[in-house]
Amino acid sequence: MTPEALRQLQAPFKQKYGDDPTSALLTLRATGNLEIDRVACRLRDAPQPFVSGLHPAAGGDGTFVCAAEMMLESLVGCAGVTLSAVATAMSLPVQGGTITAEGDIDFRGTLGVDRSTPIGFIAIRLLFDLDTTATPAQIEKLISLTERYCVVAQTLKTPPTFTARPV
């Protein structure tokens, strides 16, 4: 995609949201059906439904997708789309590459082995291996802007208000 095509694609949305800021506030949703007998949850809103279950380090047999790994995949997906858009807008020569998210978890927390152990990721690293002739300064700026505009990265860096309640 060219920078002009990207600008043309996004222009109506930028105009609409600038004119009517409330129209930019959307509620995104994911829904899953519990499969208690398998200690799993079938995610049904995905284009290809899949089942999330226990990670092998928490007793799973590896046949289900781990939700924590899905979170890392969401980060990679969001960063990849964002990086592609930013590179296009900046006219940077990025031919491809790989983005990897690594996250450290101490499973003693989620399994309740040690109440003082944090539950969830204690560190996340987002690594970029880009096929590009861009200068190191351009790559640094590209990654900085990718981090700045990536919804998932910003949500992890500045957690939103969170509630859990019955419907």
User: For the segment 151-162, what is each residue's pLDDT rounded down to a tens digit?
Assistant: 999 999 999 999
Q: Is 120 left (phi over 0), alpha (psi -120 to 50) or beta?
A: left
What are the tokens at 55?
């990670």
- How does pLDDT run across 15-42, given as a tens digit for each residue? 999 999 999 998 888 778 888 888 888 8
CA separation for the pair 163, 123 (Å, rounded):
23
Q: Return the percentage of the chain with pLDDT > 90, whole number.
A: 75
Closest C-alpha among 69, 68, 85, 88 to residue 148: 85
Average pLDDT over residues 108-134: 93
Angle between helices 3-19 and 67-89 (to 10 degrees): 110
Average pLDDT over residues 47-76: 90
* pTM for this model (two decimals): 0.87
As a whole number, the mean pLDDT across the chain is 92
Q: Are the C-beta atoms of residues 156 and 150 closer than 8 Å to each other?
A: no
User: What pLDDT score does 142 carry?
Assistant: 96
Phi then psi for residue 36, to 5 deg, are -55, -40
